[in-house]
Amino acid sequence: MHYHEFFGNFGGRYVAEILRSPLEELEKGFLAAMEDVAFTSELEYHGKHFIGRPTPLLYAAEATRALGGSKIYIKLEGLANTGAHKINNALGQVLLASRLGKKRIIAETGAGQHGVATAAVCAKFGIPCRVYMGEIDMNRQRPNVFWMELFGAEVTPVYSGSKTLKDAVNEALRDWAESFSDTHYLLGSALGPSPYPDMVREFQSVIGREVKEQIGEEGLEVEAMVACVGGGSNAIGFFSPFLKFPEPRLVGVEAGGRGSGPGEHASRMNGRGRPGIVQGYKSLFLTDSDGQVLPTHSISAGLDYPGLGPQLADLGLSGRIEFTTASDSEALDALKFFAAREGIIFALESAHAAAAGMAIAGNGSRDKAVIINMSGRGDKDLVITAKALDETNWKSFLGSEAGAPEAGPPPGGAL
């Protein structure tokens, strides 16, 4: 494993003095754990039995036939417990925290997927867990709050600032500055102050290592690998074992949203983001000329983030990773395409990778493969997807759920 701290000009550890010592302790503990077979075997054991690894690499035969180009393969991270790749990182960090003697876990969450994965792992290992979540996100993502609480986590609303993800991160950092002697802060993507970008990449690189083995088993010649990019953890984990080689093409897909103006998308590459230092790390961010973070938009809550992981920003500028975008409507079309032909439902985030993968495969040669990372499954998006694709029936269903009298004797009956 290569430990970086800086990735070209990006990365670093730009934090208040008080957080230096817990970050140094975490770095030391992490590097030692990765060298210890007892730790890596335990991670592998629970990865297999609790998460369900290895996840399959599916040959999408019908989709391939329909597009007539390269063979499409899909890495099904959506089959992991809790429905997405986030649990790979949550498991790694919880095991590391226990090893470091921490008795309590805190986390931030935006859409709630990272919070659900963290709460699930904490339930499994009997560790108290508090998840900070913006008040607006709690209202938008009520089902995920429900699951977190079912797992026994305490979900704490954040009322400051925009009441969304970045404010939840600030609140988690505030908690950690007072509690680090017995508490681990479980950050959810490959960003933040060092060592988080390296650590999260390592825990997610299980995706890429499995793919590498599966490519060998299938004897594939790979043209391109495609992943969606929010903060960047599923992408960097998927790409990680391939970075040092010139091939295959590695393609990151950002949220094109509904337009190219400020607040209409969440694409930081290709000249849209500016270098800056936000929440402890240097990278490309969607900011105004004063360095203030701009609002973003995406149909997928997980790609709707103003900052890009520092390693991806560096590899994007150096050209090893290509970046493109898919719009809200392209993502929905890709979701429909694969549901109808392959019987799988992409998460809206992953559907961005599916859309870009379809375009690359459609123009590619038949003897090569294009591998799409399905970072998550789309069950969690029912409310948004059903509203976007079938609004009338969905609204009448919601109306009947909300307004229907309890099943039982008809009104005016003997009671």
Catalytic pick from 27, 77, 108, 342? 108
Examine residue 234 and tell whether it contacts ligand PLP (CB under 6 A).
yes
Examine residue 324 and tell whether it contacts ligand PLP (CB under 6 A).
no
Residue 192 CB, shortest distance to ligand PLP, in Å, is 11
Catalytic pick from 86, 102, 166, 380? 86
Examine residue 109 and tell whether it contacts ligand PLP (CB under 6 A).
no
Number of chain residues interacting with ligand PLP (CB under 6 A) = 19
Check if the beta carbon of residue 217 is closer than 8 Å to that of residue 248. no
End-to-end, the C-alpha distance of the chain in Å comes to: 70
Burial of 120 (0-12, 13-18, 19+ CB in 10 A): buried
Helix (H/G/I), strand (E/B), else coil: 105:
strand
Examine residue 79 and tell whether it contacts ligand PLP (CB under 6 A).
no
One of 257, 302, 307, 310 touching ligand PLP (CB under 6 A) = 302
Whose Cβ is closer to ligand PLP: residue 69's or residue 110's? 110
Examine residue 232 and tell whether it contacts ligand PLP (CB under 6 A).
yes
Examine residue 205 and tell whether it contacts ligand PLP (CB under 6 A).
no
Examine residue 230 and tell whether it contacts ligand PLP (CB under 6 A).
yes
Burial of 303 (0-12, 13-18, 19+ CB in 10 A): buried
Residue 65 CB, shortest distance to ligand PLP, in Å, is 27
One of 93, 113, 194, 324 touching ligand PLP (CB under 6 A) = 113
Neighbours of 334 (CB within 10 A): 25
49: left (phi over 0), alpha (psi -120 to 50) or beta: alpha
Q: Are strands 57-59 and 71-76 parallel, antiparallel or unpaired?
A: antiparallel
Quick check: is 375 catalytic? yes
Count, residues in the chain: 415
Quick check: is 86 catalytic? yes
Q: Per CB under 6 A, which region of 178-186, 232-240, 388-396, 401-409 contacts ligand PLP?
A: 232-240
Q: Which residues pair with 326 in a beta bridge?
A: 255
Q: Per CB under 6 A, which region of 32-40, 145-153, 227-235, 243-251 contacts ligand PLP?
A: 227-235
Q: What is the DSSP letter of 47?
A: I
Please name the residues in contact with 406: beta carbons below 8 A apart, sequence gap of 6 or more: none
Examine residue 381 and tell whether it contacts ligand PLP (CB under 6 A).
no
Burial of 2 (0-12, 13-18, 19+ CB in 10 A): exposed
Where in the sequence numbering do the catalytic residues fall? Answer: 86, 108, 375
Q: Which residues form the interface with ligand PLP (CB under 6 A)?
A: 84, 86, 113, 189, 228-235, 302-303, 347, 349-350, 375-376
